[in-house]
Amino acid sequence: MVLSERAKALWAKSDRDKDQGRWHPLIAHLLDVAACAEAILEREPKRTLELYAQDLGLPLEPAKAWVCALAGLHDIGKASPAFQQKWEAGMKRVWEAGLTWATPPTAPPDDLPHSVISEEVLPDLLEAKGWNPRAARNVAAAVGEHHGFRATQENLDSVVGKEKGKGAWDKVRGELFEAVLNVLNVGEAPKVPLYGGAAFQRLAGLTSFADWIGSSLDFHPLGDDLGEYYQKAKARAAQKLDSLGWFRREPLMPEPQSLEAVFAYLGRPEEPFRARPLQAALERLLEEISAPALFLVEAPMGEGKTEAALYAHLRLQAVNGHRGMYVALPTQATGNLMFERVKAFLDRYGKSRRLDLQLLHGASELVEAYQKIRVRPNLPDEGEEGVEAQVWFSHRKRGLLSEYAVGTVDQALLSILPTKHHFVRLWGLGNRVVVLDEVHAYDTYTSGLIETLVRWLWALGSSVVLMSATLPKAKREALLRAFGAGEIPEAEEKPYPRITRVVMGDAKPAVETFEAREQPTLALRALSLDLKAIAEKALEQARQGGCVACIVNTVQRAQELYQALASNPDGIEVSPDASRGCGFSGSPLASNPDGIEVSLFHARYPLEERLARERAVIARFGKEGRRPPKAILVATQVVEQSLDLDFDVMFTDLAPIDLVLQRAGRLHRHRGRERGQHTQPVLWVAGLEAEGVPDFGTAERVYERYVLLRSWLALRSRTQIKLPDEIDRLVQEVYSEPPPQGLSEAWREALEQAQARMDKKDSTDRDEAFYAAFGQPEETDWLEPQTFPKLPDDEPNPDDDPSLLHTRKGSPSATVVLLHKVGGRLCLDPCRKDVVSLASKLELSEAKRLFARSVKLSRGELVKNDFAALRAHRKAHGLPAKPWSETPLLAQAHPVVLEKGRAVLGELELELHPELGVVYRR
């Protein structure tokens, strides 16, 4: 097909900022993006293309032609006065070719986006080729949102003649449309009446991905033969994908191997790896699987759930043609540990091929294990086999495009919320194995989002592995139904521990039970909430040898307990290094005359110190740690989830029963340890020793009072807990069964009031979670143009404030960078002489250095009224109103100036203590 001079004159890109006059024709860019879409699909598993074919009701090759053509046509709206006016030299050329306008279009910066014009003009062109009108509107909306957000009806109504052009403009758009279809050699139009749900998201995600690649290609001469240009564009697209680390997605284990063979590397000559009962049960459930599936693994801590999930990925990937895996965890700390385990797993497959593995959370820049494998884009002949983390995928919107990734659950949830380019994330999670660990760890709101995510994963042809040690019945059933399960067997029929499997296309779940390893019976002891009593008892236990954990519900209680230990006559003395006042010494320990090491670990430390304390905790109490002979760790919930720690005695504040059991799972976890006199695991519960209806103090700011009361009742008369036999029984007693009989009037009234408050909040949270998502896969309302509640662009900080991005509820937080004023200059600590820059744009190395000294704070006085206290603090110290605003890592961060370690922010005084971390005082 030969294009007219008018069509050739239209421009899509130029180097007008460089003032060199080079430009790229619009038809060339449309073909570039179509070629990139085809290059991407050719590196995808065959199953991905099969899904597109199902969406269109076409055979594979015709489906591929149409999908790539539609992706290419995303910018047909650039054939309009609204866009062509943007570059004076380009506009002049277009006018000389005969494409003019009598009424000028709206001038920049108020001009109409070309993506909106694409969405408005494309349906008519598609209908003329035989598309159903509604399906044509759907695909136009899918490719039209490639700049991040959907067009509203108001946007579309503003596409009037002066913006899109008429007459000759209609003809030239038709010419470009036909040219793209001819080059792609599309056949008859699909007959689908609707292009919604997963089909819509698949097309939108691929279009944006292909556009990002196509827009990065160098300008090349168009020539007269469009077909020849297209083939060369495909070659350039393939080369670009190679340089970014996007290689052919192939199964790691094409032929089945046993789980024991896969994980033989974890064994030793004297002790070969043997599959645990949980792992063997999962292996049986994976036999004869021929479709995507969901596996819900409910088992005690330490049963090998992680290895089971990794093995499930291998088998599901091979049989279903899944592209890779994403492992989602509750916190950054648990993500860091899982990253190292997944890397060790992938290392054995990276010896013969290159694999990309990303760590996706807001502090990944500071995680050494991740930074060690970061690589810049390179050509294939420069690369080496192995596990790497290509920089291109580390951009926050692109992370889920990587073949393998580990990160927070928030990253996955952003795919279903109306954040910018959410559909790219959703495309990355499609046709993939998604592992969600610790699914019990979330509140009603986030759990509701996870259910919606599971529905979308089902619709997108993904497999899902859900893991939990303790799960209430209602939450279990909701997750299974989200993946299409019908009648769910009663728990009494298939008791805990168990694995439930739901295969796509079969609504009847299959359940396997298994024998968990024997654990010593847990002795249960009651204590009051008094910190002095806890400190005295903890020191008493530590003197007997072994490692003691004290887990409390708030940072303030952790700091006060640590101080209570210090003020005890036989308590700790702050180590000299840690009190020099020059920042973190790297040794988060104190000791006492009895040789008891005492350490403190919570989330309210500057980031680099928190990571160092995390490493220190793992080094002392982890599976491979060198356990001190006498030690006390004071911590908050940061040690509750997924950290493989082992203690001899534990003190815990009363918390919801499932979390108490999670904490208790760190008792006597590993066999063969020297435990002093602590031959039996003992759990001391602070708050269990109470008369009448208890008051749980600050814990009620963190957890629902009703759940705390029910947990208290479940534990009140116990002297022991038999693990794992009683885990599920206790969880269901608290969450799923009515209160016990024979309670006093005061207790009944307290429970009724607390339950009413909880039910009201839960109902609100469930509704908010349902409507927070952009839509449900089975619905069609969201396909129509409408005003979506656009959330902030998540690019600067995807995890720094989950409440801002609506992945979690709760108090908003502020990311604060703590700076020390020394001799009139701002430094990172009192002893440094280097000056901190508050410029809007910083080099990455400087940004990382500052980010390492940041801490997330959620204190009400700091975050209320849009961070008014922090803004006033900046003004009082003569700081810029928006420092670091063009530095993604710090764009949302607030500088706080410390003088002699302290800062006053409104009615609040904040101190950075070398041992305690950030301390609040009024």
Residue 774 forms part of a structural domain: no
pLDDT above 90 covers what percent of the chain? 72
Give the three-class secondary structure for 771.
helix
Q: Are β-strands 325-329 and 433-436 bridged in parallel, bridged antiparallel, or unpaired?
A: parallel
- State whether 103 and 229 are in the same domain: yes
Q: Stretch 46-51: mean pLDDT, rounded?
A: 97
User: Quick check: 716 pLDDT over 80?
Assistant: yes
pTM of structure: 0.91
Asked if 880 and 874 count as a contact pair (C-beta separation under 8 A), the reply is yes
> Where does a domain end: 690, 719, 737?
737
Residue 134 forms part of a structural domain: yes
Which pLDDT belongs to residue 334? 85
Instruction: Tell me the per-residue pLDDT of 790-829, one tens digit each, with 9 for 90 and over.
Output: 665 554 444 445 556 789 887 788 899 999 998 888 998 8
Q: How far apart are the C-alpha atoms of 2 and 106, rounded to whole Å?
A: 32
- State whether 163 and 293 are in the same domain: no
Q: Stretch 525-554: mean pLDDT, rounded?
A: 95
Instruction: Tell me the per-residue pLDDT of 136-155, one tens digit each, with 9 for 90 and over.
Output: 999 999 999 999 988 989 99
Instruction: Tell me the per-residue pLDDT of 432-447, one tens digit each, with 9 for 90 and over.
Output: 999 999 998 899 999 9
Asked if 75 and 26 count as a contact pair (C-beta separation under 8 A), the reply is yes
Lowest-confidence range among 17-21, 213-217, 466-470, 653-657?
17-21
Q: Are β-strands 908-913 and 902-905 bridged in parallel, bridged antiparallel, or unpaired?
A: antiparallel
Output the CA–CA distances (angstroms, integers) from residue 486 to 296, 498, 510, 529, in the order listed: 15, 18, 11, 45
Quickly list DSSP for 578-637: GGSSSS--S---EE-TT--EEEEE-S-S-HHHHHHHHHHHHHHHBTT----SEEEEEE-G
Lowest-confidence range among 229-243, 558-572, 760-774?
558-572
Q: Stretch 188-199: mean pLDDT, rounded?
A: 96
Q: Stretch 203-219: mean pLDDT, rounded?
A: 96
User: What CATH number has the domain bearing residue 607?
Assistant: 3.40.50.300
Q: How far apart are the C-alpha atoms of 577 and 585, rounded to whole Å?
A: 6
- State whether 651 and 688 are in the same domain: yes
User: What CATH number has the domain bearing residue 502?
Assistant: 3.40.50
User: Quick check: 537 pLDDT over 80?
Assistant: yes
Distance between start and end Cα atoms, the chain: 76
> Where does a domain end: 720, 737, 754?
737
Q: How far apart are the C-alpha atoms of 248 and 775, rounded to whole Å?
A: 32
Residue 757 forms part of a structural domain: no
Which of 704, 726, 706, 713 lies closest to 685 in space, CA to CA?
713
Indicate the number of domains in the chain: 4
Which of 403, 334, 337, 396 lies closest to 362 in space, CA to CA?
396
Which pLDDT belongs to residue 69? 98
* Residue that wins the pLDDT comparison between 786 and 782: 782
Instruction: Tell me the per-residue pLDDT of 92-134, one tens digit each, with 9 for 90 and over.
Output: 999 999 999 999 999 999 999 999 999 999 999 999 999 999 9
- State whether 489 and 603 are in the same domain: no
Which of 693, 636, 640, 690 lies closest to 667 in space, CA to CA?
640
User: What CATH number has the domain bearing residue 70?
Assistant: 1.10.3210.30
Residue 805 forms part of a structural domain: no
- State whether 588 and 477 are in the same domain: no
Label residue 490 by pLDDT band (50, 70, 90): confident
User: Quick check: 922 pLDDT over 90?
Assistant: no
Both tokens of 698, joined, read 């600050």
Instruction: Tell me the per-residue pLDDT of 320-330, one tens digit each, with 9 for 90 and over.
Output: 999 999 999 99
Q: What is the mean pLDDT of the chain?
A: 90
The separation between CA 726 and the C-alpha centre of its own chain, rounded to angstroms, equals 32
User: Quick check: 342 pLDDT over 60?
Assistant: yes
- State whether 727 and 829 are in the same domain: no
HSE at residue 17, side-chain half, CA atoms within 13 A, is: 1
Which pLDDT belongs to residue 18? 52
Sheet of 720-721, strands arranged across: 573-574, 590-591, 597-601, 630-635, 546-551, 649-653, 682-686, 522-527, 720-721
User: Quick check: 707 pLDDT over 90?
Assistant: yes
Residue 802 forms part of a structural domain: no
* Residue that wins the pLDDT comparison between 845 and 204: 204
- State whether 648 and 502 are in the same domain: no
Residue 373 forms part of a structural domain: no
- State whether 460 and 597 are in the same domain: no
User: Quick check: 591 pLDDT over 70?
Assistant: no
- State whether 51 and 165 are in the same domain: yes
Phi-psi region of 337 (alpha: psi -120 to 50; beta: other; left: phi over 0): alpha
Asked if 656 and 734 count as a contact pair (C-beta separation under 8 A), the reply is yes
> Where does a domain end: 485, 515, 545?
515
Residue 356 forms part of a structural domain: no
Both tokens of 25, joined, read 């024709």
Give the residue numbers spanning the domain of 838. Answer: 811-921
Q: How far apart are the C-alpha atoms of 132 and 305, rounded to whole Å?
A: 48
- State whether 91 and 211 are in the same domain: yes
- State whether 463 and 596 are in the same domain: no
Which pLDDT belongs to residue 15? 81
Residue 449 forms part of a structural domain: yes
Q: Stretch 732-743: mean pLDDT, rounded?
A: 94
- State whether 164 and 68 are in the same domain: yes
* Residue that wins the pLDDT comparison between 624 and 766: 766
